Amino acid sequence: MKILKIISKICLIAAFALFTISPIMEATVTEASSSSSTETIVNPVVSSYISTVLLSGAYYYILAGLGFALILVNYNKITKAIGQGLLGANSMIALVVFIQINNHVAEVNNNNFSIGAGALLILVAAIVYLTYVVLDLVADAINNISEQKTSISPALAEIKQWKELLDQNIINEEEFNIKKQEILNLPKKD
């Protein structure tokens, strides 16, 4: 159970890192020159499109940071759910924007559509983030089941003690049933 929580936190941090660097990667393009070396340059069309569509007002980073902070604070289930929703929605919005950017670049350059590094990174980030969500849900479910088992155990142990007293004829059947109802918080029978 604890290992699932640790792995889910690692996935969350990895997803956030990928969310953070994907707009930067979308603004760069690797061009292969004829001398078999590669050179990374900033694509001005993509860079200006990102700055006007995605990063104006820095909403992308604000939403991602706020979502990440709400998940880590984990004040209650509502704040955690809001944080998870912000990160999930932010990744989907960014993916759509990046695909639009790549489509726009393909139209401007009169070439075939191809997915850029930022779109691929945001897709990987979304998959890693979904892995975090699933692992977190499974860990919470396992934790809830184990808590239910431990909360029932003391009551059952006390009933067993009273049953032993009944079997030894120290108490009678009526006294045992009254005590059992008290332990299980059942309403009294008339």
pLDDT at 140: 83
The mean per-residue pLDDT over the stretch 55-69 comes to 72
**pLDDT(33) > 80:** no
**How far apart, in whole angstroms, are the C-alpha atoms of residue 173 and residue 178?**
9
- Span 84-136, pLDDT tens digits: 888 888 777 777 777 776 777 677 667 665 666 777 787 888 888 888 888 88
**How far apart, in whole angstroms, are the C-alpha atoms of residue 160 and residue 138?**
33
Which residues on adjacent β-strands are paired with residue 28?
42
Q: Where are the domains of the chain?
A: 2-148, 150-183
Fold of 2-148: Butyryl-CoA Dehydrogenase, subunit A; domain 3 (1.20.140)
**How far apart, in whole angstroms, are the C-alpha atoms of residue 13 and residue 7?**
10
Of 7-11, 29-33, 39-43, 74-78, which range is least confident? Answer: 29-33
CA 89 vs CA 71, 94, 122: distances in Å: 14, 9, 12
Query: pLDDT-derived band of residue 51, with 50, 70 and 90 as boundaries?
Result: low
Whether the CB-CB separation of 26 and 117 falls below 8 Å is answered with yes
Question: Quick one: angle between helices 2-26 and 117-167, nearest 10?
Answer: 170
Specify the pTM. 0.58
